Structure 1
């Protein structure tokens, strides 16, 4: 049996985000990402500004825009 399933496997994307200083910031970024992709997993290292978004097929630009909407700077 042949299928034409063109679904891409979920991937992990890394973002460098400036301006996260507290737990509230982490929650805001997590909620922003998950509003764009409810299935995404989010891991944040506030000390380095690294945000790892896993299990996502959402375009990078969409996720970055969601984070930026919360007032954080996302490095290109």
Structure 2
């Protein structure tokens, strides 16, 4: 199975610490192989195999942020 890239918009990030919190949380999601977070654009890019969208969203919320609809 091939890797899939998904992009999310994360609300509430304002600094490097915010980016790190989101990165660390999402890296723990099963199937995630790479995470890129840019607080300036509020973008979260997730690369992986069979990554559960709901689990990514939950990890972002657990870190204290919100994925835009």
TM-score by length of 1: 0.79
Give, in whole Å, the separation in 1 of the partners of 2:7 and 2:60.
Answer: 12
Q: Could you say what the CA RMSD is over the residues aligned between the two structures, in angstroms?
A: 1.5
How far does residue 36 in structure 1 lie from its aligned partner after superposition?
Answer: 1.1
In the alignment of these two chains, the number of paired residues is 69
TM-score by length of 2: 0.86
Is 1:14 the equivalent of 2:7? yes
Of structures 1 and 2, the larger Rg is shown by: 1
> Which aligned segments of 4 or more residues in structure 1 are displaced greater than 4 angstroms?
none
> Which residue of 2 is the match for residue 30 of structure 1?
23
Question: Which has the higher mean CA deviation after the structures are superposed, 55-64 or 27-36?
Answer: 55-64
Q: Which has the higher strand share?
A: 2
Contact 2:9–2:43 (Cα < 8 Å) also in 1: yes
